[in-house]
Amino acid sequence: MKPLLRLNLLLICSLLICACAAPSKRASVSAQAAKGQIDSAALSRTPEPQAQDPLAKRRPRDLTVRILLAEKQKSALIKHTGKVYIYTLNLDKKYKISAPGTLSVKALGGGKIQVGTLQSAKTIVLEPALNTLLVWNKNSYSGKIYIIPAGNTFHLVEHAPLETYLYGVLPYEMSYSWPLEALKAQAVAARTYTLKTLESVKNQNFDLFSDVRSQMYKGGGKQYDSVKKAVDGTRGEVLTYQDKLFFTYYHANCGGGTDDVRSWNPGTASIKPLSGASCKTDSHSKSYKWQMSISRAKVENYAKSVGLSGSLKSIKIARKTDTGRATNLTIRTSKGSKTVPCGKFRLATGIRSCKITKLSVRKKEVYFEGKGYGHGIGMCQDGAHGMAQDGKNYKKILKNYYPGSEIKNLSNYYGI
């Protein structure tokens, strides 16, 4: 078959798929295919469930993850290091720029946007050619960036393959200079967390935030050798418990022991992998023990936000776990007292953890001493670092912090 004829057939087939498929993501894949840009693997990514495995029934909505880079923007400059395709989702308008340059993106008002010379009220896609990166806000992206009109603003959402997404998560959730086995444990935890998140996405435009609301992400374009080794070396591997994915929470430092997920979020059902684990390898970190002061005003503002006004008199630990992590604090002011979840207090005031070992209300400030950094659920990253330095591999690390969990490889039916 002549190459031109083959391309035309691909075009016709792709447009047929496009016409039949309702979800916008399928349409976008087809649009890409229609331009002859897509690799055939991407079109055949419908997983083939294996009936004997309960996990096979679960299917993330797509292997491409959609990451919200920014919302409600009025303007943006997006650099492209090589050839880039610019098109509306239904391909009624399209063009390409072959040389490196910078594209100006503007909200025109009334639901319209302009990208370079193209104006539209529909989503516009920037698709980098192979080996081209899109650079926005100093971060490099190798996936497609969707510019989605939203009233007088627009959202920026990257569509990237799951494994590429992980290249852009690991260096910001754990240092790329850390031992490989710790990075591999992080790769499996982050992959599992991502796939679990995909099971219950509600937003029609994106699956994941690019910050702590999901996982830190600054683009998969800048690739570190160690990170690539960790992600590629665990390709498709996830953690399961009773054949189900679970939220593989992780945090910086547990202060010598992690806790049951219910201590942090009482509404969550506890499962064995999230029921707490010992940690003997995190004391090398400066997060292990800390002291800090916060202003009385900060505490009073938080108290006010939960309905307790007045000037601060005392704070007491109302309840704590066996590892010493406070689950509830009682705040007393001149107007009364209130018992609050420590996790919420921590997020509002910035104390490093709820493993509080000393607490005193002083004239102008509240003084804390404590252990650990973060919520203390799931994998302790400093502990993983310590275990890796002690010669433990990533499987041992994961077994320690998620007891009772199993590693499964999903490559077969997710096409990862």
Quick one: which of 45, 132, 43 has its CA closest to 86? 132
**Is residue 65 a contact residue for Zn ion (CB under 5 A)?**
no
Closer residue to Zn ion in complex, CB, 3/391: 391
Quick one: which of 327, 178, 194 has its CA closest to 265? 327
Closer residue to Zn ion in complex, CB, 113/279: 279
Q: What pairing do the DSSP bridges indicate for beta strands 118-120 and 112-115?
A: antiparallel
Closer residue to Zn ion in complex, CB, 120/353: 353
The contact pattern for Zn ion, residues 334-373, with x = CB under 5 A and - = no contact, is ----------------------------------------
Residue 381: CB minimum distance to Zn ion, A = 8
- How many chain residues are in contact with Zn ion, going by CB under 5 A? 5
Give dist(CA 19, CA 91) in Å, integer.
Answer: 12
Residue 289: CB minimum distance to Zn ion, A = 12
Residue 285: CB minimum distance to Zn ion, A = 8
**Is residue 386 a contact residue for Zn ion (CB under 5 A)?**
no
**Is residue 380 a contact residue for Zn ion (CB under 5 A)?**
yes
| CA-based torsion, 7, 12, 16, 19: positive or negative | positive
**Is residue 254 a contact residue for Zn ion (CB under 5 A)?**
yes
| CA dist list (Å): 260 to 121, 254, 264 | 48, 12, 8
Read off φ and ψ for residue 371, nearest 5 degrees.
-130, 145
> Distance from CA of residue 45 to its chain's centroid?
22
- Residues 68-127 touching Zn ion, rule: CB under 5 A, are none
Token pair, residue 114, equals 């302009």
Give dist(CA 179, CA 385) in Å, integer.
Answer: 7
Q: How many helices (H) and strands (E) does the chain have?
A: 13, 24
Residue 415: CB minimum distance to Zn ion, A = 35
The binder of Zn ion chosen from 238, 383, 414, 416 (CB under 5 A):
383
Closer residue to Zn ion in complex, CB, 66/346: 346
Residue 254: CB minimum distance to Zn ion, A = 3
**Is residue 182 a contact residue for Zn ion (CB under 5 A)?**
no
Residue 211: CB minimum distance to Zn ion, A = 23
Residue 52: CB minimum distance to Zn ion, A = 38
Give the angle subtended at the CA of 369 by the CAs of 367 and 371, to the nearest 5°: 150
Closer residue to Zn ion in complex, CB, 127/382: 382
Task: Decide: 343 and 375 in contact? Cβ < 8 Å.
Answer: yes
Per CB under 5 A, which region of 63-71, 104-112, 211-219, 247-255 contacts Zn ion? 247-255
Closer residue to Zn ion in complex, CB, 244/280: 280
Residue 379: CB minimum distance to Zn ion, A = 9
> Distance from CA of residue 109 to its chain's centroid?
31
- Residues 266-295 touching Zn ion, rule: CB under 5 A, are 279, 282
Quick one: which of 144, 122, 157 has its CA closest to 29? 144
Closer residue to Zn ion in complex, CB, 220/372: 372
Closer residue to Zn ion in complex, CB, 220/383: 383
Per CB under 5 A, which region of 163-171, 254-262, 290-298, 340-348 contacts Zn ion? 254-262
Closer residue to Zn ion in complex, CB, 159/325: 325
Give dist(CA 240, CA 245) in Å, integer.
Answer: 5
Residue 377: CB minimum distance to Zn ion, A = 11
Quick one: which of 209, 162, 170, 211 has its CA closest to 61? 162
- Beta strand residue intervals within 110-220, DSSP E: 112-115, 118-120, 124-128, 134-136, 139-141, 144-150, 153-161, 208-209
Give dist(CA 376, CA 251) in Å, integer.
Answer: 6
Question: Which residues bind to Zn ion, rule: CB under 5 A?
Answer: 254, 279, 282, 380, 383
